[in-house]
Amino acid sequence: MRAVPPAGPDALQGARRRHRLQERGQWGNKLEFMMTVAGAIIGLGNVWRFPYLCYKNGGGAFFIPYVVFLFTCGIPLFLLETALGQFTSQGGITCWRSICPLFEGMGYASQLIVFYGAITYIIILAWSFFYLFSSFSPELPWASCGNYWNTAACVDFDKRSEMSNWTVPPNVEREVLLNISGGIEEPGSVRWELALCLLLSWTICYFCVWKGVRSTGKASYFTATFPYVMLVVLLVRGVTLPGALDGIVFYLYPNPSRLADPQVWMDAGTQIFYSYAICLGYLTSLGSYNKYNNDCYKDSFYLCLLNSGTSFVAGFAIFSVLGFMAREQGVDISQVAQSGPGLAFIAYPRAVAKMPVPQLWAVCFFIMIILLGIDSQVRLPLMTSVTDMFPTLIRRGYRRELLLLLLCSVCFLLGLLLVTQGGLYLLQLFDHYVCSGATLLFLSICQSICIGWVYGADRFYGNIENMIGYRPRALVKYCWLYLIPVICTGTFIFSLVRHTPLKFNKSYSYPGWAYALGWFLAVSSLSLIPLTMLYKVARAQGTLCQVGTSCCGQRGCSEQDAAHIGTCWDTLGQNGTQWVMLGHAGTQWDTLGHSGTRWAPLRKQRAARGDCDG
């Protein structure tokens, strides 16, 4: 029997390449991080939700509760999540495992909400592509009644002067809003043109994320900046229209008496959480690709101001056009002002139809909506969280790209339910119950308790100081400890007490089983927090004190070690040995020696420390 010759250097190098983990990656520069985060947090809510809430809740007076929530909840939570990701260099799930394993369920809950949002939010992109393609027709389809879907109830804009205080009939709105059915009980058929637009949307999102932080960072240079170009163009055009001043006054005229209404404060708080992408793992995952010494404190402050400033400016662009539309129709602005999809796909397109060269302004508007949607839809945080949970399994070869393809395909197939004739009813059900302010408020309470009281606000302040070289203002710490839990708890309870059954278009009432489905979807995410706590405690070994210590992350690192947590060292020794250290609680060593032997003392080290996972 012939002896097998020893493997040569080329064979050993090939084995090392096959077993080597791909790098987790970092932002190419600070601008990539700022652009990507700005694109993620500045979305459709800034354009179609904030201006409507402002006029609805007292005009300029609405800025008082908005600013209060901004500085007491928005900026502190924004900093908390960004700094947490930068400190641990982990995604939205494993970061909590590193800091406080008992609260790991917050990561699972937030990522499940992100998954729900991936299915539903992208439908807005599909509609936007559909309207964008329709804008290239010689006559805008929604500008007249000469279309095949119109009924006898349709009225041309040119005949508005013959009717006093004319408004759009509800059934015409339903025609314009993608020909929806009479209720959620009538799903109807899949609209193939919307399905193709949905496929296009997912294809774009896939290629924005497929190379991880590298492709996302490069794409953000265009997707995060071009919407501002479109916004400025629409703003300049809007303020030059007749009736624009009436719309702006309607948008900003203060009504201080509205401040006595608790609903105004509820809307202000909900808008902060809605538009800042708080508690969804976005900021944690995006911050995890920062360099360890990046000044995340100043970044958070500037990004929050940019977000709110964009919302404020967008109000001028929207209400100047609505003021023009109200004057053209001879009606009050309140009759044309809408929020959400009604603004993007009914009110604003119809106003654009009355401008000179309407196709140009329609294309500009829908390009802006598409780019805002793409930035918010890019699900890098979801992929980051899953990859960080199974790095040795996913970060090899093309496994990550294949996993992303599988995720996009599953979301596309599930999204087909939402492009049926009854899909809008299901979409609003998801938006109201799953991605609502109540779920985000509950997660905010849990986050502030975890960092402020369990892990320790002073301890986390020390971690931030190790990263940026100075301590943030003490007000932020007191917000984590006191203001956020109190304000969010009060707002959360108020939202439950004042809860009213969801209605579509202010007229259609959902059947009982639909409300039950909505509550089930909401509870399915939040229930992961207590369930994970019970699992961690049940798996832990030792006395009650030892269980509490290990599950609450009290065996932390020293001040010297803290400066290195989350930093990745790749050290190649003389013998070809490679060490990769990731995180603190989930420290992992992958060592490749002369013979290609891999060993991982992760579980032994964690068991010796008494961590919950054993």
State phi, psi for 586 to the nearest 5 degrees.
Answer: -115, 45
The answer to whether 28 and 216 are in contact (CB under 8 A) is no
Most trustworthy range by pLDDT among 6-20, 190-204, 213-227: 190-204
- In the annotated binding site for Na(+), the residues are 39, 46, 275, 307, 372, 375-376
What the block records as the tokens of 94 is 């494993």
The answer to whether 294 and 30 are in contact (CB under 8 A) is yes
How confident is the model at residue 151, as a pLDDT? 54
In 10 A of CB 377, how many CB atoms? Answer: 22
User: What span, in angstroms and rounded, lies between the C-alpha atoms of 378 and 203?
Assistant: 11
Select from 128, 327, 326, 302 the least CA-distant residue to 227.
Answer: 128
- In the annotated binding site, the residues are 39, 46, 275, 307, 372, 375-376
Output the DSSP codes for 510-524.
Answer: PPHHHHHHHHHHHHH
70 in helix, strand or coil? helix
How confident is the model at residue 225, as a pLDDT? 87
* Average pLDDT over every residue of 160-182: 48
Q: How confident is the model at residue 462 (pLDDT cuts 50, 70, 90)?
A: very high
Sorted by where each starts, the structural domains of the chain and their CATH numbers stand as 12-539 (1.20.1740.10)
The answer to whether 35 and 224 are in contact (CB under 8 A) is yes
Q: What is the pLDDT of residues 112-127, one digit of tens each?
A: 998 998 888 888 889 8
311 pLDDT higher than 50? yes
The label of the residue with tokens 């259609």 reads 508
What the block records as the tokens of 274 is 């809605």
Select from 398, 571, 435 the least CA-distant residue to 112.
Answer: 435
Task: Give bridge partners of residue 579 from the DSSP assignment.
Answer: 571
Q: Name every residue whose Cβ is closer than 8 Å to that of residue 381 and which is 6 or more positions away in sequence.
A: 91, 92, 111, 114, 280, 281, 282, 284, 285, 286
Longest pairwise C-alpha distance within the chain: 102
The label of the residue with tokens 């995410």 reads 525
Kindly give the interhelix angle for 244-252 and 226-239, rounded to the nearest 10 degrees.
Answer: 110
The answer to whether 352 and 362 are in contact (CB under 8 A) is yes
Angle at 130 (CA atoms; ends 129, 134), nearest 5 degrees: 110
Instruction: Express as a percent the part of the chain with pLDDT over 70.
Output: 77
What the block records as the tokens of 495 is 């939202």
28 pLDDT higher than 50? yes
- Lowest-pLDDT range, 253-262, 420-429, 583-592, 603-612? 583-592
User: What span, in angstroms and rounded, lies between the C-alpha atoms of 262 and 487?
Assistant: 13
Q: How confident is the model at residue 177 (pLDDT cuts 50, 70, 90)?
A: very low
Q: How confident is the model at residue 410 (pLDDT cuts 50, 70, 90)?
A: very high
Q: How confident is the model at residue 414 (pLDDT cuts 50, 70, 90)?
A: very high
What the block records as the tokens of 167 is 């408004």
User: What span, in angstroms and rounded, lies between the C-alpha atoms of 70 and 77?
Assistant: 10
Kindly report the pTM of this predicted structure. 0.81
**Rounded mean pLDDT of the chain?**
78
Q: How confident is the model at residue 532 (pLDDT cuts 50, 70, 90)?
A: very high
* Average pLDDT over every residue of 87-110: 91
How confident is the model at residue 109, as a pLDDT? 94
545 in helix, strand or coil? helix
* Distance from the first to the final alpha carbon of the chain: 47
How confident is the model at residue 106, as a pLDDT? 94
* Average pLDDT over every residue of 510-523: 90
Q: What is the pLDDT of residues 351-380, one digit of tens each?
A: 788 778 888 888 988 888 888 888 777 656
What the block records as the tokens of 79 is 């900093």
Q: What is the pLDDT of residues 237-288, one digit of tens each?
A: 888 888 889 888 888 888 888 888 888 888 888 889 888 888 888 899 999 9
Q: Name every residue whose Cβ is closer than 8 Å to that of residue 437 and which is 6 or more positions away in sequence.
A: 266, 269, 270, 273, 274, 491, 495
Handedness of CA 234, 240, 241, 245 (dihedral sign): positive
Handedness of CA 191, 192, 197, 200 (dihedral sign): positive
- Lowest-pLDDT range, 141-150, 315-324, 360-369? 141-150
The label of the residue with tokens 């400190």 reads 87
Q: How confident is the model at residue 562 (pLDDT cuts 50, 70, 90)?
A: very low
320 pLDDT higher than 80? yes
Q: What is the pLDDT of residues 40-96, one digit of tens each?
A: 888 888 887 888 888 888 888 899 999 999 999 999 999 999 999 999 999 889 999
In 10 A of CB 512, how many CB atoms? Answer: 9
How confident is the model at residue 612, as a pLDDT? 42
* Average pLDDT over every residue of 160-173: 41
The label of the residue with tokens 């809003």 reads 177
Select from 187, 191, 227, 222 the least CA-distant residue to 208.
Answer: 222
> Residue 323 burial (CB < 10 Å; 0-12/13-18/19+)?
buried
How confident is the model at residue 144, as a pLDDT? 66
Select from 465, 459, 483, 466 the least CA-distant residue to 76.
Answer: 483
Select from 305, 517, 301, 275 the least CA-distant residue to 375.
Answer: 275
How confident is the model at residue 81, as a pLDDT? 95
How confident is the model at residue 129, as a pLDDT? 93
User: What span, in angstroms and rounded, lies between the C-alpha atoms of 126 and 355?
Assistant: 25
Q: How confident is the model at residue 302 (pLDDT cuts 50, 70, 90)?
A: very high
Number of residues that make up the chain:
614
In 19-46, which positions are buried (b, 16+ CB within 10 angstroms) versus exposed (e)? Answer: eebeebbbbeeeebbbbbbbbbbbbbbb
Select from 132, 44, 43, 54 the least CA-distant residue to 337.
Answer: 54
How confident is the model at residue 22, as a pLDDT? 67
Q: Name every residue whose Cβ is closer than 8 Å to that of residue 315 and which is 6 or more positions away in sequence.
A: 50, 51, 54, 251, 252
Q: How confident is the model at residue 21 (pLDDT cuts 50, 70, 90)?
A: low
How confident is the model at residue 185, as a pLDDT? 84
Of the two residues 604 and 512, the one the predictor is more confident about is 512
What the block records as the tokens of 476 is 């932020």
Handedness of CA 37, 39, 41, 46 (dihedral sign): positive
